[in-house]
């Protein structure tokens, strides 16, 4: 028995060596990736230590950690900082509404395209609705800003019909609706693709059986198509939950014209905007404090993903982790 164990160990060592030399080329190929992820992903993770320091650029991260360690003072500060909680609340509201709206709009568009029977029109529509995804938020925001501005065409039309000029860019509530609608405009078509592909994979037997049972089209959608895309939908939902605290810095930055729209900025002041302005925009926060906010955001996002994953698994779905 013991001999056998030794033999197995030896053969393991042997195969380890052999595997090592056999995979020299692959190991060589992976070296850049190791360096890349170490430098651009793991070094910043190490950098979060400055959240526990009074960071001084002169001393650098190491120096600040040894000389200026202040424990949880930065966290105490941000948790007592009113703007932080406003931003946190805004982020949660905007982020979760965005997830719900984009989730439902993508499935809706997918259902519409999937059910449509005009092949030619279907192809054309798919090209059109997926296109905006590939535009930057700079372009999309510019399009919306110019089309919907108070002096723009739509506002003019509303005024001609006897309404008030539209204040999408100078009214907090209307601006929020602009946030959601531009998100749907840009992403709904593209996000629907994955659902359309999943729908195409649903067995036709199920539809035939439904036909025999005399199901209407709506009933077939409800009892066959939707259950068919459920695993995909839940997977995508779990993935998107991690981003709830991101809530779209790109979009807000551009729709407010480089954060220059002070009137609406209050209603869309999200965590990322707070971090950006606090550090670079004269917001008066120290780097230690904004790093603490960032770390808090990462942690909450991480916990949210894990929790959603667990809940999904408890409900008998396939999780991601």
Partner 1 sequence: MAKIKIDKLPLARKERPGPSNRFGGFDVVLFIILLIFALLIIFPFYYLFVVSITPQEIYVNNPLTLWTPKITFDAYKSVFNDSRIWGGLKITLILLFGGTLYQMFFTVITGYALSRNNWVGKNFVMNMILVTMFFGGGLIPYYILIKTLGMINTIWVMIIPGAIDTFNMLLMRNYFASLPKELEESAKIDGANDVQIFVKIFLPLSLPMLATVGLFFAVGNWNSWYNGMLFNSSQNLKTLQQVLQDIVYTPSSGIPNPGKIRIDDESMKMAAIFFTIIPMMLFYPFLQRYFVKGIVVGAIKG
Shortest Å distance, C-beta 1 to partner 1: 28
Q: Is 64 exposed, middle or buried (0-12, 13-18, 19+ CB in 10 A)?
A: buried
Least CB distance to partner 1 at residue 261 (A): 9
Least gap, CB of 201 to partner 1 (angstroms) = 7
Distance CA 270, CA 265 (A): 9
How far, in Å, are 89, 91, 166 from residue 83 at the CA level?
10, 12, 29
DSSP H or E run through 235: helix 226-241
Residue number, 174 or 207, with CB nearest to partner 1 = 207
Residues 279 and 259: their CA atoms lie apart, in Å, by 14
Residue placing its CB nearer to partner 1 in the complex, 71 or 201? 201
Nearer to partner 1, 3 or 58 (CB): 58
CB of 85 to partner 1, least distance (A): 19
Task: Report the C-alpha gap between 251 and 138 in whole angstroms.
Answer: 8
- Would you say 228 and 206 are in contact if contact means Cβ atoms under 8 Å apart? yes
Q: Which is nearer to partner 1, 3 or 216 (CB)?
A: 216
45-49: list long-range contacts, CB under 8 Å, 24+ apart. 47/291, 48/291, 48/294, 48/295, 48/298
User: Of the two residues 104 and 258, which places its CB atom closer to partner 1 in the complex?
Assistant: 258
Q: Name the region of 60 (left: φ>0; alpha: ψ -120 to 50; beta: rest).
A: left
Q: Considering the complex, what minimum distance in angstroms separates the CB of residue 83 from partner 1? A: 17
Nearer to partner 1, 126 or 267 (CB): 126
Which CB sits closer to partner 1, 96 or 126? 126
Nearer to partner 1, 94 or 295 (CB): 295
In the chain, what is the greatest distance between 2 CA atoms, to the nearest angstrom? 95
Considering only CA atoms, which of 100, 84, 124 is closest in space to residue 290? 84
**Dist. CA 144–CA 141, nearest whole Å:** 5
Specify whether the CB–CB gap between 155 and 70 falls below 8 A: no
Output 208 or 266, the one with its CB closest to partner 1: 208
Distances (CA, A) of 310 to 103, 127, 197: 20, 37, 27
- Cβ proximity of 319 and 239 under 8 Å: no
């Amino acid at each position: 028995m013991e001999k056998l164990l030794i033999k197995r160990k030896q053969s393991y060592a042997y195969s380890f060596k052999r595997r090592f030399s056999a995979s020299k080329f692959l190991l060589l190929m992976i070296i850049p990736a190791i360096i890349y992820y170490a430098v651009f992903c793991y070094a910043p993770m190490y950098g979060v230590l400055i959240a526990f320091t009074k960071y001084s650029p002169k001393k650098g991260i190491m120096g600040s950690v040894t000389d200026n360690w202040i424990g949880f003072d930065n966290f105490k500060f941000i948790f007592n900082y009113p703007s932080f909680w406003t931003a946190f609340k805004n982020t949660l509201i905007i982020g979760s509404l965005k997830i719900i709206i984009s989730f439902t709009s993508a499935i809706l568009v997918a259902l519409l395209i999937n059910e449509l029977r005009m092949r030619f029109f279907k192809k054309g529509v798919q090209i059109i609705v997926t296109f905006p995804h590939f535009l930057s938020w700079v372009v999309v925001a510019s399009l919306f800003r110019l089309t919907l501005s108070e002096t723009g065409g739509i506002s003019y039309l509303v005024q001609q019909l006897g309404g008030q000029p539209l204040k999408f860019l100078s009214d907090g509530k209307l601006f929020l609706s602009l946030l959601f609608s531009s998100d749907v405009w840009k992403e709904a078509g593209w996000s629907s693709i994955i659902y359309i592909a999943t729908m195409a994979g649903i067995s036709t037997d199920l539809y035939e059986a439904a036909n025999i049972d005399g199901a209407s089209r709506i009933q077939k959608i409800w009892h066959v198509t939707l259950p068919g895309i459920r695993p995909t939908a839940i997977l995508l939902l779990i993935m998107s939950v991690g981003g709830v605290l991101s809530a779209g810095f790109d979009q807000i930055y551009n729709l407010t014209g480089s954060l220059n729209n002070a009137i609406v900025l209050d209603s869309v002041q999200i965590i990322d905007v707070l971090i950006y302005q606090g550090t670079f925009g004269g917001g008066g926060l120290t780097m230690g404090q904004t790093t603490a906010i960032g770390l808090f955001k990462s942690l909450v996002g991480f916990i949210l993903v894990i929790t959603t994953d667990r809940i999904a698994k408890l409900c008998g779905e396939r999780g991601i982790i």
